[in-house]
Amino acid sequence: MLIKEYRIPLPLSVDEFHRGQLYAISACSRNETGGGEGVEFLKQEEFTSDELLKGKTVSGIYTYKIYRLRSKAPWILQKILPPAAFEIHEESWNAYPYCKTILTNPGYMKENFKQIIETIHLPDNGSTENPLNASKKREIINVDICDSEALGKSASDESNDPLTFESEKASRGPLEENWTEETEPIMCAYKLVSIHFKWTGFQTLVEKTVHKQYPRVFGIFHRDAYLLIDEWFEMTMEEIREYEEETAEILKKQINEPGKRGNTCNDDDNNNK
């Protein structure tokens, strides 16, 4: 099992990002679903648990989704794995500011594949030593939403550059090059990612390949959540929930429409070949 911790600072308060996160998940799902691939909502309901966080009882929203992602996976995985391997089931417990997500592949890998993503959102710039109480040694990777080179040229241009973006409704931006040291408010999403892929001869390759995508995936999502701020900043949590419900219905229709949507992990690789 390969474990890494990703740290993504944002020029937002922790409370603000609660709404921004939920809005962006729905907006991104709409943009990435079509042509038989994307996101299918199976369940969304409230939960209360005393097992999610040790010694605490937490409440939030539980969701169960299926992601069909073959065309979005790294090309090397598409070559060595069958189509069934790219149907990923996601269970998520959002007890914000803490969230836990479990990804599995019951149709193909069964108990031999599992990803666990634990997230805590804190009001700092990524300086907390061990925010998720990781018991094992892990590599720490800092992700900058302003680093267009790291996020990929195909997903970055002048229209989505945080160094030039200005929010009218929230009066944020543009960000400076050293923004994580001077910007207020600021928060950080800490994500502890554990990947288990049991397949003799391929385990190390697949675990490293999947982890290689996460700085880009996390960076683009959090950057876009910030850049969408004028869409969600004045929305109430009730309005955000209504948007989520509306999205679930739209995706049921959209996934069967012709034409795939969104970026793939290979966009920049293909441009460089």
262, part of any domain: no
In which domain, by residue range, is 143 found? 2-256
Q: How confident is the model at residue 210 (pLDDT cuts 50, 70, 90)?
A: confident
269, part of any domain: no
103, part of any domain: yes
User: What pLDDT is recorded for position 243?
Assistant: 95
268, part of any domain: no
Question: pLDDT higher for 199 or 196?
Answer: 196
Closest Cα to residue 118, out of 262, 251, 3? 3
For residue 202, what are its two tokens? 């391929």
Report d(CA 134, CA 194) in Å as an integer.
11
Upper half-sphere CA count for residue 54 (Cβ side, 13 Å) = 2
With a cut of 50, say whether residue 242 has pLDDT above it.
Answer: yes
Closest Cα to residue 34, out of 266, 248, 256, 263? 256
In contact, 99 and 118? CB cutoff 8 Å: yes
Looking at the 3D structure of the chain, how many domains does it have?
Answer: 1
**pTM for this structure?**
0.88
Instruction: State how far Cα 167 lies from the chain centre.
Output: 22
With a cut of 90, say whether residue 157 has pLDDT above it.
Answer: no
> What CATH number corresponds to the domain at position 61?
3.30.530.20
163, part of any domain: yes
User: What pLDDT is recorded for position 262?
Assistant: 55
Report d(CA 203, CA 186) in Å as an integer.
37
272, part of any domain: no
10, part of any domain: yes
With a cut of 50, say whether residue 142 has pLDDT above it.
Answer: yes
Question: pLDDT higher for 48 or 40?
Answer: 48
Q: How confident is the model at residue 244 (pLDDT cuts 50, 70, 90)?
A: very high
Segment holding 93, helix H or strand E: strand 87-95
In contact, 190 and 7? CB cutoff 8 Å: yes
With a cut of 80, say whether residue 263 has pLDDT above it.
Answer: no
Q: Which residues contact 266 (CB under 8 A, 6 or more apart)?
A: 74, 75
User: What pLDDT is recorded for position 17?
Assistant: 98
Q: How confident is the model at residue 272 (pLDDT cuts 50, 70, 90)?
A: very low
6-27 pLDDT per residue, tens: 999 999 999 999 999 999 999 9
Report d(CA 20, CA 12) in Å as an integer.
9
- Alpha carbon distances (Å) from 167 to 11, 164, 241: 11, 10, 23
With a cut of 60, say whether residue 239 has pLDDT above it.
Answer: yes
User: What pLDDT is recorded for position 132?
Assistant: 95
252, part of any domain: yes
Report d(CA 182, CA 174) in Å as an integer.
13
Lowest mean pLDDT among 2-11, 24-33, 48-57, 253-262: 253-262
Dihedral sign for Cα 114, 99, 176, 163, please: positive
Report d(CA 225, CA 178) in Å as an integer.
20
